[in-house]
Amino acid sequence: MYTPIQIGIPRTHESKVSYIEHTPSAALGEIVYCFWTFRAVIPLPDRFIYLVLPDGCIDIIFDVADEPEFDGALIMTPSTRAEPVDIRPDFSYAGIRLQPGAWAGEPVEIVGSAAFYDSLAAYNLREARRMLADSDDVLSRLHYIAEELKNHGIIRSSPFVAALLKKEQLSVEDLVITSGYSRRQLQRILKESVGYSPHDFIKVLRFQRALQSGKEAARQYADQSHFIRECKRVTGMTPSQLRTMYRLADSSNA
């Protein structure tokens, strides 16, 4: 099972913020990886940087603070490198993280974008945000919003990508054999469903699995030096620098 890791929270802020992931219902499990909430638990003195790692997922983010910086939703699409996000001191966000390949909406660019939307396919995202902000049960509201996005054809399951994610070791040749497509067909289909080329798709999965492996991370690569080079390429830091500055985000499946 593919379980993407987000490092995100600086160690200096571990006790000051709360990040919790919630498992979706079985009916949404093939579409939604998790629902999540992220908020300040004590007043913060200034802004800080949250580091978003490439994971192949699209996040639909709502600002549910008392004085939100944006209405509607911020939609962040997958990237191939870590993206630093500037977080304000009094933040409170709720979001939906989609399974790779689950996005079917327009007009969002599928790779490396972060854009604000008031509506998609006639679904009112401003009303959805206000409903979340006014609710005492954010999780049930996130489930409801996901169901509505599904009903509007904005998100959907992708059995093809799900099958690829189950493979432990991947090469482009593995993808061709597993999918049954030619290399050219695979290139087009992956670009349309996930946003990555087959090569980038493999690199993102390998890096994510390396982070999950802890001390065994280098086994995903030819050797330790290869892993260090890849970590620096993706995040700008060595693995030791990364773990010194950031913690692997703990998930509480509620």
| pLDDT, tens only, 4-48 | 888 789 999 989 999 999 999 999 999 999 999 999 999 899 999
Give the pLDDT band (50/70/90) at residue 219: confident
| pLDDT, tens only, 43-72 | 899 999 999 999 999 999 999 999 999 999
Q: Could you tell me how many helices (H) and strands (E) the chain has, helices first? A: 8, 10
For each of the domains in the chain, give its residue range(s) and CATH number, in order of start: 11-151 (2.60.120), 159-237 (1.10.10.60)
Tell me phi and psi for residue 103, to 5 degrees.
-80, 130
Quote the pTM value. Answer: 0.92
Helix residue ranges, H only, 123-238: 125-133, 138-151, 159-165, 172-179, 183-193, 198-212, 224-235
Q: Which residues pair with 39 in a beta bridge?
A: 18, 92
